[in-house]
Structures are given as structure tokens and as C-alpha cells.
Amino acid sequence: MHRNPVMGKYLLLLFFVLLSGCAIQTPPLEQKEAPQSLQAQKAAQQAVKDQAPSTPTLKRKIALGRITNETIYGRSLLRDEYNDPLGKQVTDMMSKVLTESGAYLVFERPDIARVKNDVAMSGGKINIIGVDTLIVGSLTEFGRKTVGESGFVSQSKRQVAFAKVDIRLVDTKNGQVYFAASGAGEASTETASTFGFGSKADYDGTLNDAAMRQAIADAVAKISAVVDKQPWTTYILKAEGGRIFIGGGKSQGIREGMIFNVQSAGEKIRSPQTGAEITLPGQNIATIRVISLFGEGELNEGSVATVVSGSLGGRKISDLVVRYDGAMR
């Protein structure tokens, strides 16, 4: 069979033109995040703040214990339960998110479990009454997977990192867990090629951080929804000459002119049903207004207030509780 050399050259040229055209149309590397990205969560939180009435935010004091790694990722027989790099990373991320929210004073207790064990051996008890809530938890899911699709002349692959954290809120007064929640996050990178040409991506370690960051943001949002519903409370330090000194100052968001209610501490009784000690609701006995602030730093600040209505009635200040009622004058 006789072959036309000219025709062969044209066919070869046409093949290279088609091949180059397919390579030019190859989609570039595309970064993808979970359906609810970290930016979207921050935007939603900001929208809620913008719609809320302009009342001052009183910061809660929270102790953050170590968030441990309970997955097989990053663990070995040579490391004990306290040598946990991944758990430390998650704890640092959560501390950052809580602090940046502007709603908390965060006191880190990274070795709370070790301290508890040491104190228990001596027959003592750990004292963290200075904070409202202790946060403990663990990283329960963490890993990566590769998924992809293949066609006649094209294929795509997607690297997916996923993480899940389980968080518990502990009442520092009685050690009871009063709330538990989970946060989940996912991040991915997709690559595509046609006729072997296209984008390629090596192992991307930042996907792990992005997945953990979203899981933590999800958990913190659930924590805040519960903690914010609880009344902000403090205690009377001293009452003298018409002035009432209360704990908490500028760092916690207290400002001059704020109004607080003084309540009697409720009676504690033991429930016949559960055997647990229950505190009955107290009664409002006075209303006070902040007139000045004092102290420097989160741990030694206080406020000076005067009585607007009612009276302390010679009661012991150790039996009184100060609550914020949300009013400003």
C-alpha cells in the first residue's frame, strides 16, 4: 500500500496541535475547603455580633486543660501520655481561637491531668475555683485520604484532610461535666490532568492544620452558645463606708456606670432523688452601680460600686453573689 508522505506530515502536525490544545485547557490547581470554611464561620459570627444590641461583653474566665490526641496519628510506643505534640498543637489552636473571640480570659492549665494525679497521691484536692469553667477534651478523629475520578483522557485526584475534636465543659466548683460537644473540620486540594498534562500537587501538610482549625472553630462556637447563656457572676471583696469592692475590672469588660444585682447565696440542700447537693436560687437584696475601677492585670483588678437600691442588711459578704443584669446607665 502506497503512503503519501505529505499527508502523513499533515496528520502528525494535526495530532500535535490537538495535543497542545488539550494541555492548554487543563484546569489549574484549585484549593478547596470544607463546605463551611473558617472565613464563612467568622463572617457568620460577626454578622450575629452586628445584629446584637450594643451591650458590653463581660469576659468569662476559662481554664484550658490539655486537649489530648486519642488517635493513632503521630503516636508511638516511645512516647508517654504527656509527650503529645499533636495534642499540644490542638491546645494552642484552641487557646488562640478562644482569646481572639474577645469573650474569654483564658488561663492555660496544660498539665492539669498530671497535677491532679500528683495532688491525689498526697491526698489533696486541686483548686481552680478562680475560673468559671474548665475545658478538657481530645482529638478523636484525624487523618487523610485521596479520592479521584478517571476518564478516557483525563483524571482528577483530591487530597482530603479531616479532623474531629470532642470537648467537655467542667464546673470547677463540683467537677461535674455540664456540657459536651464535638467539632468537625475538613480541607482538601484537587488536581487534574488531561493526556498526562496538567497540575500536580505534592503532599500538602497545611491541609492538616486547616482541618484542625475548622474543627476547633466549630467546637468553640458550640461552647460559646452555652456559656453565654449563663449569668456573669462575681463576688464582693469588701464593703466599707458606703463603698462596695467587687472582683473583676477593665480586663473583663467592666465599665463605670454598669449596674449589678446583689443576691443572697442560695441554700444548699441534698436531693433525695439523686443524692447530689443542690443550690436553691437566691434572692435579690440590692442593686449597685460601678463608680470606678482599680488594679492592673487580669488577676488583681477590681471595681468600686455604690448601692442604688436595697441594702446589704448586715449580711456576710461571703454569703452574697454579684450578677450582671445587662443594664447600663
Say yes or no: 59 and 144 in one domain.
yes
Number of domains in the chain: 2
For residue 1, tell me if it sits in a domain: no
What does each C-alpha distance from 46 to 50, 221, 326 come to in angstroms?
6, 12, 21
Say yes or no: 223 and 237 in one domain.
no
For residue 213, tell me if it sits in a domain: yes
Domain closes at, from 180, 206, 227: 227
Q: For the domain that residue 272 is a member of, what is the CATH number?
A: 2.40.10
Count CB-CB contacts under 10 A for residue 105. Answer: 19
For residue 3, tell me if it sits in a domain: no
Say yes or no: 253 and 135 in one domain.
no
Say yes or no: 32 and 129 in one domain.
yes
Contact 134, 149 (CB under 8 A): no
Q: For the domain that residue 187 is a member of, what is the CATH number?
A: 3.30.160.150
For residue 7, tell me if it sits in a domain: no
For residue 123, tell me if it sits in a domain: yes
Phi, psi (rounded to 5 degrees) for 132? -80, -40
Please report the pLDDT score of residue 290 as a whole number: 96
Please report the pLDDT score of residue 14 as a whole number: 54
Reduced to 3 states, what is the DSSP secondary structure of residue 140?
Answer: strand
- The number of angstroms, rounded, from the C-alpha of 8 to the middle of its chain's C-alpha atoms is 67
Say yes or no: 216 and 240 in one domain.
no
For residue 94, tell me if it sits in a domain: yes
For residue 10, tell me if it sits in a domain: no
37 vs 78: CA distance, rounded Å: 36
Q: What is the pLDDT of residues 208-223, one digit of tens each?
A: 888 899 999 999 999 9
What does each C-alpha distance from 136 to 22, 153, 270 come to in angstroms?
53, 51, 28
Say yes or no: 272 and 213 in one domain.
no
Domain housing 257: 233-328
Say yes or no: 83 and 205 in one domain.
yes
Please report the pLDDT score of residue 42 as a whole number: 61
Say yes or no: 257 and 303 in one domain.
yes
Say yes or no: 83 and 221 in one domain.
yes
Phi, psi (rounded to 5 degrees) for 59? -75, 140
Please report the pLDDT score of residue 261 as a whole number: 94
Domain closes at, from 227, 256, 284: 227
Please report the pLDDT score of residue 34 as a whole number: 47
Q: What is the pLDDT of residues 17-71, one digit of tens each?
A: 444 444 434 444 344 444 455 566 566 555 545 544 444 578 888 888 888 888 8
115 vs 269: CA distance, rounded Å: 31
Q: What is the pLDDT of residues 65-94, one digit of tens each?
A: 888 888 877 655 445 455 678 888 898 999
What does each C-alpha distance from 54 to 48, 60, 143 come to in angstroms?
12, 18, 42
Q: Which residues of the chain have pLDDT under 70?
A: 1-56, 74-83, 109-129, 147-156, 190-205, 325-329
For residue 20, tell me if it sits in a domain: no
> What are the cell numbers at 11?
496528520
Say yes or no: 78 and 147 in one domain.
yes
> What are the cell numbers at 261?
444585682
Please report the pLDDT score of residue 30 as a whole number: 41
What does each C-alpha distance from 296 to 166, 238, 258, 303 come to in angstroms?
35, 18, 19, 11
Please report the pLDDT score of residue 94 as a whole number: 92
Q: Which residue has the cell 502528525?
A: 12
Domain closes at, from 212, 227, 242: 227
Say yes or no: 315 and 199 in one domain.
no
Say yes or no: 64 and 156 in one domain.
yes
